[in-house]
Structure 1
């Protein structure tokens, strides 16, 4: 693949999060712990939703897909990151392109899963009489299929932008993962067209979901403030607050990363921002959606009881 676009570089060196030796072990232990929590938390939520029929409703169907994407997301990024703390991390050109492809696929997919969740909450709160009819299993399946298809198309567009680039001699990536901004900085060819493609793809896949979520929550907030019963209003707020936190973390950090110049002065800053939406977000989501969720608590209690008495 490297020779296909006339690049002389066949492998890259990932510098990692820090070059300070005294921080390598503490950071390895910290991020290894986060990775374990992420995997256990998301698999636990997947199993819980799968085993409990009363969670087989649109809200938890979308949450199931969110956990699946977060799990895949974490497995694409974290193992390579952990390697940078213990040894010189060399990644081939093909492995680098593959990592970016799946990273992009799952990140765009997550954008549209979060958008589907906002639409689901809008229908549940603003159109409760039509909820079961509109949010049918067929509609939910189409929404999720659409999220993965858009992710696939977006990932292919990113590949087109990358395969146009030529890497002459520089092969040191100032990051803990293969990512677009440091690769643009590393390329020895003009990156304007490639950056334009990425800006268009990221802009489209950020603006459309963001506007949809914003409009959905505008109507949701209006409806909530029209509820006269305090208990009903607090329940609606609890239902939506988890989603708002996830959306803010993911779209805020992701948008900051890509909807600006890929100048080298931002590369160290980019590493910190990337941690939030690739590592911290997937770890927090299972807890954000379960800690204040009575349905999840009941499902967990019933599942544990079944396991104890069988």
Structure 2
């Protein structure tokens, strides 16, 4: 069993050093913006009493998951830019564990947020009796438990896999597919388990999201007033944008024209998923939300006044 592997992209040439510098700067900026944006949302929803609603509860936890997910990858990407591509066996499997665990939990949380939007638009009069603190906590806990259920069985079987063909992982990070490519034993059962888990996660959450969005759109179109329709659509439009981005990028990663092109696409899309999306999401949820922006201004004014004392 090899204790050290190398994570790198094939066909890398020395003349791409300038590109590495640009990627390092790009990832550094996006990571700082992601940390700032998601920490701002988390802090505001905790401190401001006007933002302590059930949907803000989901938004706070979603921001925490986004921040955790991007932290699993980006610091490692930045460290690789120094030229050290080695990664230990334990570090590789730790990264894979948290990537799958947080990713699956995030998909379930998006489905829970879609359900919250559905209740808020379609069952407005019953919202407080359907969505309350205990239900929110149970939904969030269920997302974390589902993430553990998804990763633990493959993780247990993966510990017994032998790696002896190569020590080079053709990817920016420790992902399941590149790891299986360098094994020297039969992994059909493990591959099927991973495929079933991924498909079930995507299908179950996507069906819940699509159904919620369909009922929301139908309810909005039936509203008699154009102003009420615009207001109702604005309430969940930000969430629909984030859902479309998240599912679109992950589905794109697994629709490959060829195996060779698929590796290159996965490398590029994986960087975009772990760097750009966590930056865009806080702005989508805050810039056009007057309550969050007002809370941000009030908090900024309080901090400024305290600093002057």
1:12 aligns to what SS in structure 2? strand
Partner residue in 1 for 2:59: 63
The alignment's TM-score, normalised by the length of structure 1, stands at 0.92
Partner residue in 2 for 1:82: 78
Partner residue in 1 for 2:101: 105
CA contact (8 A) 2:253 2:265 kept: no
Matched pairs, number: 303
Per the alignment, do residues 47 and 78 of structure 1 end up closer, same or farther by CA in structure 2, a change over 3 Å counting? Answer: same
Deviations 1:44-71 (A, max 9, x none): 1111111111111111000000000011
Paired residues for 1:203-222 under 5 Å? 203-222=199-218
Deviations 1:221-275 (A, max 9, x none): 0001011222221122222221112111212222343588994552111111212
Partner residue in 1 for 2:233: 237
- In the aligned structure 1, how far is the partner of 2:113 from the partner of 2:214? 15
2:28 equivalent to 1:48: no
- In the aligned structure 2, how far is the partner of 1:104 from the partner of 1:141? 22
Partner residue in 1 for 2:195: 199
The alignment's TM-score, normalised by the length of structure 2, stands at 0.93
Picking from 126, 129, 142, the partner of 2:125 is 129
Is there any run of 5+ residues in structure 2 with no aligned partner, and where?
none
1:170 aligns to what SS in structure 2? coil
- In the aligned structure 2, how far is the partner of 1:291 from the partner of 1:58? 19
- In the aligned structure 1, how far is the partner of 2:291 from the partner of 2:49? 11
Q: Which runs of 4+ in 1 moved over 6 A?
A: 259-262
CA contact (8 A) 1:182 1:262 kept: no
Q: CA deviation at 1:184?
A: 1.4
Partner residue in 2 for 1:267: 263
Is there any run of 5+ residues in structure 1 with no aligned partner, and where?
1-7
- In the aligned structure 2, how far is the partner of 1:260 from the partner of 1:192? 21
1:9 aligns to what SS in structure 2? coil
Bigger drift between 298-307 and 198-207 goes to 298-307
Bigger drift between 125-134 and 174-183 goes to 174-183
- In the aligned structure 1, how far is the partner of 2:228 from the partner of 2:82? 52
Deviations 1:170-219 (A, max 9, x none): 01111111111111112122332111011111111111110001001110
